[in-house]
Amino acid sequence: MLEGIYKRLSRKVEAYVTGNGGNTEEAADLFQDTIIDLFHQAKAGKLILTCPFDAFFLMVAKRKWLNILKSSGKSSSRVTISTDDVSIGEDSFRQAELIAEQSRKDRIYREQLALMSQRCQEIIKATLTRRHQEEVAADLGVSYNYLRKKKSECLDQLIQQVRAVQ
């Protein structure tokens, strides 16, 4: 498995590092550090992929390289992508970053929803279905007008809680 990862991604990491102020040895170190970090995350049960592994790996390597540049005093403002192999990865980096950000937001919403009253949780979850609101009101044993009013109040509360956390 490691050999496959190495074959698929080592050239891309090397091209990125050498094209952005580094050398081959630094690229090899970065690749190894990235592998080790992901291994530790997986071992601890904290590695949850919501995008292709290659895109995630390249995003982690890119972030680690930018941190190395920053901590060493080298400028990261002139970082560019100079090869086709890595430019493909750049789209994957962006996709992975967007997915990671959306996952973070989803987690915050779920955590804040869990802190709300049982009734608000029930109303919000029920109204997120694709069914007509009249059906949802009937299922919950409330009037349509009550459901609309309570849903609005609950969503306002949820939004306020999420804003307070962010």
For residue range 42-81, what is the model confidence (pLDDT) as tens digits?
A: 888 887 877 788 888 888 999 889 888 888 776 554 455 4
Which tokens sit at 150? 């309570």
How far is C-alpha 55 from the chain's CA centre? 12
CB–CB of 49/56 below 8 Å? yes
Please tell me the pTM assigned to this model: 0.47
**Across residues 120-148, what is the average pLDDT?**
90
Calpha distance 87→80 (Å, rounded): 10
Calpha distance 99→92 (Å, rounded): 10
Give the burial class of 113: count Cβ atoms within 10 A of its Cβ; 0-12 exposed, 13-18 middle, 19 or more buried: middle
Nearest to 86 by CA among 150, 19, 26: 19
**Across residues 119-132, what is the average pLDDT?**
88
Amino acid residing at 116: M
Please state, rounded to an integer, the average pLDDT across all residues of the chain: 83
Calpha distance 39→2 (Å, rounded): 11
